[in-house]
Structure 1
Amino acid sequence: MTAPRRGRVWRSLTLRLGLIYVALFLTSIAVLFGAVYWVGIYRPFLQEARKVRIEAGDFAAIDRGGGRDALVRALILRRDTGPRRALDALIDADGKTVMANLPSWPREEIGDWALLDADLSVHGQEEDYTALAVEKRLDDGARLIIGRDVEDIDDRDELFSLGSAWLIVLAALLAIGGSLAMSAAVGRRIDMVTRTARRVMAGSLTERIPLRGTGDDFDELSETLNLMLGRIEESVESVRRVSDNVAHELRTPLARLHADLDELRMANSDDERQRLAGQALTEAGRLQAIFDALLRIARIESGRHLAGVKPVDLTTLLTDAVEFHLPDAEERGQRIESNIAPGLAMAADRNLLFQAVSNLLDNASKYGAAGGTIRVRAEKRDGMVRIEIGDTGPGIAPEYRERVKERFFRVPDTAAQPGTGLGLALVAAIVALHKGRMEIDDAGPGTKVVLTF
């Protein structure tokens, strides 16, 4: 198990990102050190080199104009001038030293400029000097080396080189260690997500990702994934309940259909056959209605039923729905009171929206009190369209108000009423498709369903 684990570590995205971070970090340090070196060391060297180069040109001009003796006198006088100690050497064309306070110099000609060790003995004490030297060839081939002491800059250079080397090594070790620690910490959090996901895939839908309580990005991601797993668990449980309910709801009409057909096969009279055939057709129609409703809900929830969102005159739609259900309500001795604001409109699938309102009116009439009142109210409030449909029936207990939106769920007190238990599930699917909200509340007495879009 060790080798695969090691291989996975090296394939880890967090480790690769950490190493990239190390590379960027070290590159930024190198750039910073380079800038410091330029400003604090190399640029001062260049400035001194420019000054010394000017001096060398001046002394070459003295040699051309006044001769060698004048040059020697000028060099002697120079040794007592300037903020930095003057160092020089004059070597004739034969290689013989004419004068010098530099202890040594290169045999080859100095190119642009060079740093020369120039330790001198002063009053028996050796003093350290570093000469920034420039060489000038005189007309007769003599070598004129002009320099100034830059020991302070050279010391700074040595200290910077040594210190920066150690700092870069230390920074690299810390960055690599931090990168590995970060990779391990992130890897552990990702492993928790992976292990939880694998357990969920194995069938344990109650698994959740542990939270650290730090409120960081991983905690936020884990919380979101836990919410998603909760929704998946609810969906799977809902599917299981729907499957059980489908089996339960279909068992009775199928049994009746089977019995009717069996009796039809044995019937002797035409009247008996007609009666049994009618009963069989009724049960087949009930089965067809259940399957149609289930299919329609599934298509709506998947978004495939949305024929096209268009501007809908909601005032007219609600008025038409009320008029459509008015005869059934009057047959039960019920009144429909409507208070629909004019000019209501929204973008929707008109047929689906009419179906939702029609289902709610049908429920209000079916489960409302005989001789009671059905109230329809619609208005625009705070930029939202609000549709309220209520009845004066026995109402729905609070513990059932969310469950009635599930497929096939029937409130126990109304189980004897005709119906499939799919009406409110269909309404909930249509409302969700239109990004709306459906709430079931107490109408005191009765039930009130509020749709908000």
Structure 2
Amino acid sequence: MTVGGFLRSLTVRLTLIYLVLFCASVGGMLGVSYLTGITRPLERVEAEIRRDSDRFVAIYRQDGRDALIRALEHRAKEGRGRLRYHVLVAPDGAVVAGNLLDWPVVQGPEWRRYEFGTYATGDEEEHEAVVRDLRLPGGYRLLLGLDTEDLDEREDLIFEALSWGAGMTLTLGLVGGLVMTFAVSQRLESINRAARAVIAGDLSGRVEHRGSGDDFDQLAATLNEMLARIEGLVASISRVSDNIAHELRTPLTRLRADLEELAAVGDAPEEARARAAAALDEAVRLQAMFEALLRIARLQSGGAMQSGAVDLAAIVEDAVEWHRPAAEDKGLALTLAADAGTAISGDRDLVFQMISNLLDNAIKFTPAGGRVEVAVRAADRPELVVRDTGPGVPAEQRTRVFERFYRADGAGTAGFGLGLSLVAAAAERMGAEVRLADAAPGLDATVRFRRAQA
């Protein structure tokens, strides 16, 4: 399966959507935790530092350095709230006042989070702090901060939870998505099985009904009701067709027999025998048309078919030999090239009828002295190719020639437009593909069959 086909799968998309939503919800919860537990408290810490530093700058401007030192020492001794850090550095780099063991020597950004040494509690400790770094008039430098060790530990905890939680989230999301996808795919597969059975001609196929009363059960009930209705209609049409066939076949057979007797009467006038012969030809033509229509109708309605492994090359060889006299009478060169190992899955009689119709068309429409080439190719899907040197079929008509009674331009009165219709119906019934192409000159008809399973 290609990447595009993989992503177009409903179950895969459901898994991805579930996984994205699950990860987004966990990420959202961690984001809210970080916002309320880290970002907002840091904003309050910075606001408090800003108020204190603005106040100390004003003291320095009004009362001088000594007053600032007394205010800083008083602030450091306050026991409420967070630990308070400060250092006042003279223009020559000497520390005038402070309770920090180390600090950034080079002044950088105004605000920073930094791990400082302090002896505020009597012993040397390392603490995370938010610090405001200011330059005072006269060249003094003031660093003022508050302890945020608790926020740092909380932040580490959140990031640790995020790192561990990411893997757990993806794992749980994937497992949950796969479980949900498996449940949905199982229900969808039951619908696919029923649909494939119907396509194969088994109208008795039904969608599994589990009795849970969920949406899939309601859909299954609706589809089963529809299939039952279709099965009834097809059966009714089949009965009517069989009755019509039975009622028409008998009088057609009698009419043909009477016309054969009339045409064989020796003492009948010549004109009467000629008319009888013409009527006999029309009766034969009508009977052939009737049989072809009946065969197409039964194929399209899913009638019984003897499907099995058959040798395509052998059937084609028989069909070619069957049509060789007709080709020789017309002066055509009929050739066959067949590969070995071309076992296909299908109905032997139906395959022979398909090949016979294609050969009959090729011989019928190829001018005298032309060629009809038949080839059987071994591939993943064995191919039958019938190529002639006739007038061909215009590109715009190549799909319409499979319609009943449709005859391409230049066909004249030859045939009655059902040969290719039967080929198309038989191919669809057996899962084969029919393609028409320009042989320049003539027509190239290719049928790709399903290979027989070992």
- Structure 2-normalised TM-score? 0.51
Which amino acid is the alignment partner of residue 13 of structure 2? R
Is residue 2:228 matched to residue 1:218? no
Is residue 2:31 matched to residue 1:61? no
Q: Is the 8 A contact 2:102 2:117 kept in 1?
A: no
Which amino acid is the alignment partner of residue 91 of structure 1? V
Change (3 A) 1:138 1:120: closer
Q: Is the 8 A contact 2:100 2:119 kept in 1?
A: no
C-alpha separation in 2, matches of 1:44 and 1:204: 71
Runs (5+) with no aligned partner, structure 2: 261-454
Is residue 2:49 matched to residue 1:52? yes
Which one of the candidate residues 112, 115, 120 is aligned to 1:114? Answer: 112
Which one of the candidate residues 168, 178, 181 is aligned to 1:180? Answer: 178
Q: Is the 8 A contact 2:113 2:128 kept in 1?
A: yes
Counterpart of 2:130 in structure 1 is 132
C-alpha separation in 2, matches of 1:223 and 1:104: 78
Is residue 2:231 matched to residue 1:241? no
Offset, 1:235: 0.9
Counterpart of 1:191 in structure 2 is 189
Offset, 1:110: 4.4
Counterpart of 2:21 in structure 1 is 24
Secondary structure of 1:95's aligned partner: coil
Change (3 A) 1:90 1:35: same
Counterpart of 2:402 in structure 1 is none
C-alpha separation in 2, matches of 1:24 and 1:188: 23
C-alpha separation in 2, matches of 1:99 and 1:252: 124
Offset, 1:244: 2.6
Change (3 A) 1:123 1:80: closer
Which amino acid is the alignment partner of residue 235 of structure 2? E
Deviation string 1:288-323 (CA, Å, 9 cap, x unpaired) is: xxxxxxxxxxxxxxxxxxxxxxxxxxxxxxxxxxxx
Q: Is the 8 A contact 1:56 1:135 kept in 2?
A: no
Which amino acid is the alignment partner of residue 239 of structure 1? I
Change (3 A) 1:7 1:212: farther
Counterpart of 1:200 in structure 2 is 198
Which amino acid is the alignment partner of residue 194 of structure 1? N
Q: Is the 8 A contact 1:60 1:136 kept in 2?
A: no
Deviation string 1:327-373 (CA, Å, 9 cap, x unpaired) is: xxxxxxxxxxxxxxxxxxxxxxxxxxxxxxxxxxxxxxxxxxxxxxx
Offset, 1:91: 0.9
Q: Is the 8 A contact 1:205 1:229 kept in 2?
A: yes
- Of structures 1 and 2, the larger Rg is shown by 1
C-alpha separation in 1, matches of 2:233 and 2:147: 84
Change (3 A) 1:141 1:185: same
Offset, 1:47: 1.1
Runs (5+) with no aligned partner, structure 1: 263-453
| Percentage of matched positions with identical amino acids | 43
- Structure 1-normalised TM-score? 0.51
C-alpha separation in 1, matches of 2:75 and 2:252: 122
C-alpha separation in 1, matches of 2:250 and 2:17: 67
- Aligned CA-pair RMSD: 3.4
Counterpart of 1:35 in structure 2 is 32
Which amino acid is the alignment partner of residue 18 of structure 1? T
Offset, 1:33: 2.2
C-alpha separation in 2, matches of 1:59 and 1:70: 9
Secondary structure of 2:88's aligned partner: strand
